[in-house]
Amino acid sequence: MTNTTSLSKNAAPVTDADSHFDRKGLVQMILLGLLLLLPVAAYFLGHTYYVNLASRVTIIAMAAVGLNLAIGYGGMVSFGHAAYFGLGGYVAGISAYHAFDLTPFMSWPFSVPGSDSLLVVWLAAVVLCALLALAIGAISLRTTGVYFIMITLAFAQMIYYFANSWPTYGGQDGLPIYIRNTLPLVDSTDALTYFLICFTGLVFAMALTSRLMKSRFGAALTMARLNDVRLATAGVSPYPIRLVAFVISAAITGLAGALYADLNGFVSPSMLSWHFSGELMVIVILGGVGRLYGPLAGAVLFVMMETLLGGITEYWQLFLGLVLLGVVLFAKHGVMGWLAGSERNE
């Protein structure tokens, strides 16, 4: 077996993983391009419904990008990522509630008012989700395998039931958002503008993931997933690496949640449900676990099925189940694997 590409101790050999115009790069560009251009076209044709639908796809894709970092790149099967999505949503909702109401969220030990600024809300969502994930991850990552899956599920359930029964912010009925939070310089109530905000968020999340995985941190995370004994023997402790990856993944999903709440003008405990955690996992695997564009492909497929199939039959989830079963049993690498070929590891 010989190396055909240029071999040098100065750099990894140039492989087709680097070329942007091979099959994989083409598929990626088409996906992203369509996602950007179709809503713009729809907007100028007057179909705001489709613009909002595109926003929805984009946000869910972003949430899945976060989860993919944990599951696909990190090998940590979190069944509780809805907790972060929901927390992000509630941060947006509670902040808007207090901004509208003009009452502070907390008065003690210091006064925390509501805010109608998107930037403040996003920052708060990211920070709070990161803290929550730090606490949950610190405990959960001491377990492995099915115990990890179950304990992440359990923590998410805790938060779900908490939100359901805490009456101030709507409890079971959810929390309406009466004002859309604002961003300086742009009109966030405009559908296309909001879509572009979400699109930027998605691209940012994907770029972050890509950069992260190419760095030393990413190398350590990959090793932790493939062979954590090898990682430890090489001198790097797996636990802190995983914990940081878990926290970053939660922050991304949480930010998506904040965007989602603002899009819908509503936060509901269902954003915290295990069904949603399951749906996110479905999206990640449909698209292709551990692929950069997997979450996007999966989100597009999922929402398409929901809207198209959902228009035909109210039992569309039955067919979703069949498709999912088929993918798991027969098409292990998801849509990206099918469209773009298998991923070359280095």
**Interaction with another protein in 276-295: which residues (CB under 8 A)?**
278, 281-282, 285, 289
Q: Which is nearer to another protein, 149 or 179 (CB)?
A: 149
* Residues between 119 and 158 with contacts to another protein, criterion CB under 8 A: 139, 142-143, 145-147, 149-151, 153-155, 157-158
The continuous run of DSSP H or E covering 175 comes out as: strand 175-176
- Determine the interface stretch with another protein among 46-54, 89-97, 114-122, 208-216 (rule: CB under 8 A): 208-216
Q: If you write DSSP's letter for every residue of 287-299 in order, what string do you get?
A: H-TT-TTHHHHHH
Q: How far apart are CA 253 and CA 49, in angstroms?
A: 24
From candidates 10, 20, 185, 312, binder to another protein by CB under 8 A: 10
User: Is residue 227 close enough to count as binding another protein by CB under 8 A?
Assistant: yes
Locate all alpha helices (DSSP H) within 45-185, ordered by sequence: 48-68, 82-101, 118-140, 145-165
Q: H helices of the chain, where? A: 23-44, 48-68, 82-101, 118-140, 145-165, 191-214, 216-226, 228-233, 238-264, 274-287, 294-304, 310-312, 316-330, 334-340
Does 230 bind another protein (CB under 8 A)? Our answer is yes
User: Which 167-196 positions form the footprint of another protein (CB under 8 A)?
Assistant: 167-168
Q: Which of 131, 317, 338, 341 binds another protein (CB under 8 A)?
A: 317
For residue 324, state whether it binds another protein (rule: CB under 8 A).
yes
Q: E strand or H helix at 266, and its extent?
A: strand 266-267
11 binds another protein (CB under 8 A): yes
Give the nearest distance from C-beta 152 to another protein in angstroms: 11
Q: How many chain residues touch another protein (CB under 8 A)?
A: 80
C-alpha closest to that of 175 among 277, 63, 262, 53: 262
* Cα-Cα-Cα-Cα dihedral sign, residues 105, 108, 110, 111: positive
Q: Of 109 and 314, which has the nearer Cβ to another protein?
A: 314
218 interacts with another protein by CB under 8 A: yes
Binding to another protein by residue 46, rule CB under 8 A?
no
Per-residue b or e along 125-138, where b marks 16 or more CB atoms closer than 10 Å to that residue's CB: bbebbbebbeebbe
Q: Does 103 bind another protein (CB under 8 A)?
A: no
Write the interaction track for another protein spanning residues 54-83; mark x where CB under 8 A is met and - where it is not: -----------------x-----x-x----
